[in-house]
Amino acid sequence: MPQGHVVCSGLVERIGEEMGRIIHKYDRDNEEKEIIIDEKIADHQEGLNLVADLLSHHEYGVITDVNEVKLVGHRIVHGGDRFHCVTRINKEVKEAIEELSNLAPLHNPANLTGIKTAEQVFPKATQVGVFDTAFHQSIPEVAFRYALPEKFYKENGIRLYGFHGTSHRYVSQKAAEFLGQDPKKTQLITLHLGNGASMTAIKNGRSIDTSLGMTTISGLVMGTRIGDIDPGVLIYMQEILGYNWKDVKRILNKESGLLGLSGDNDLRNISDRYLEGDERAILALSIYVYRIKKYIGAYIAAIGKVDAIVFTAGVGENSSLISELVCNNLEHLGISIDKEINNRRNGSERDLSDAKASIRTLVIPTNEELEIARQAFTLISEEK
């Protein structure tokens, strides 16, 4: 930093399973090399210790000593309404992350483990937290409140918080740069379409509404998560069909979405089946796309004049079928893409719009790690 040049990257997978895997990519004379190590990794502590060994390894390493690491940036999923920006981690911040675990029981405890482990493995580094919810703290009350009795908000913190904020922020800034505009004067609808998916309405560079809410289930149809549903259905499933809340939770999170509709949660497979004329796949993708179109319409109404819609993440960056189906028949709103440009996919930032479009359609690859690194680096530089 500050150049943002990646000297090393990697992934630790299948922690706690019979056989784990570490993928370690490193820079050697401006060439990217990769090694893969398959071995049992008991827990996160062991995983991060192995990462530290690789970082300073005599052959594959990029530093000579782990104490050279000055800064560790953590992605923290839920910051509630306490964290509006990147934050230096201390005892109080760790306690707050723990307290917020009831809002994100799957994520915040794991994030805390990551912090505690990194403090031991990189004892000389400053630990910094970048919260997934922070970018959405600018959402006004009119959009973040649910129409529940007031006490559920005031006493229990039940409101929309939003997620994928690091990604929405990163691509919105990149999109403004791409358009040659000041981010603070740019109006965008960002579509983060991956395994999890969300859309954000961005006015003058700030998030004013987003499709994930208090939890990570609402809004768009996702790989295995349901997205928006009439809440009365959940009462019906329990009262009339006899499911308990644990069943309902599992069904909504793990068995619904594209998986529930088509039997598969990987959009690549469903797209292949769609093109072969498979009826379940056609219906699943049609529902997936229809939901996105409804949010585009809603967010145009919320924002006013929109400069661009921005596709990002696994599906958004790679699937020309989804961008084609989403933009199809939206000419009356000013969204219109060139099919040939859309079919020429590559890994770079690009504009899919045709000459008729008054709202541009962009593909901007997301880079949450770089955004976390930049925010952490800026915080530390400003504190000096």
Binding-site ranges for ligand AMP (CB under 6 A): 194-195, 223, 266-268, 271, 313-315, 318-319
Q: Angle between the 320-327 and 267-275 helix axes, to the nearest 10 degrees?
A: 70
Closest CB to ligand AMP among residues 84, 254: 254
Closest CB to ligand AMP among residues 186, 342: 342
Q: Cβ 163 to ligand AMP, closest distance in Å?
A: 12
Q: Cβ 217 to ligand AMP, closest distance in Å?
A: 16
Tokens of residue 31, six digits: 């060439």
Closest CB to ligand AMP among residues 129, 365: 365
Q: Cβ 197 to ligand AMP, closest distance in Å?
A: 8
Closest CB to ligand AMP among residues 112, 321: 321
Closest CB to ligand AMP among residues 117, 361: 361
Q: Cβ 37 to ligand AMP, closest distance in Å?
A: 22
User: 350, 348, 328: which is closest to 337 by C-alpha?
Assistant: 328
Q: At 213, phi and psi to the nearest 5?
A: -115, -120
Q: How far apart are CA 15 and CA 90, in angstroms?
A: 27
C-beta atoms surrounding 89 within 10 Å? 21
Tokens of residue 280, six digits: 């379940």
38, 43, 65, 132: the catalytic one is: 132
Q: Where are the beta strands (DSSP E) in the chain?
A: 8-13, 20-28, 31-39, 71-76, 87-88, 126-131, 188-193, 197-203, 206-210, 308-312, 350-351, 360-363
Closest CB to ligand AMP among residues 187, 200: 200
Question: Which residues make beta-bridge pairs with 87?
Answer: 129
38 belongs to the catalytic site? no
Q: Cβ 31 to ligand AMP, closest distance in Å?
A: 25
Point out the residue whose Cβ comes nearest to ligand AMP.
314
User: 343, 345, 325: which is closest to 335 by C-alpha?
Assistant: 325
Q: Cβ 372 to ligand AMP, closest distance in Å?
A: 16
Q: How far apart are CA 328 and CA 279, in angstroms?
A: 20
Tokens of residue 132, six digits: 């997934």
| CB of 164 closer than 8 Å to CB of 216 | no
- DSSP code per residue over 253-305: HHS-HHHHHHS---HHHHHHHHHTT-HHHHHHHHHHHHHHHHHHHHHHHHHSS
Q: Cβ 332 to ligand AMP, closest distance in Å?
A: 27
Q: How far apart are CA 257 and CA 14, in angstroms?
A: 24
Closest CB to ligand AMP among residues 122, 295: 295
Q: Active-site residues: which are they?
A: 132
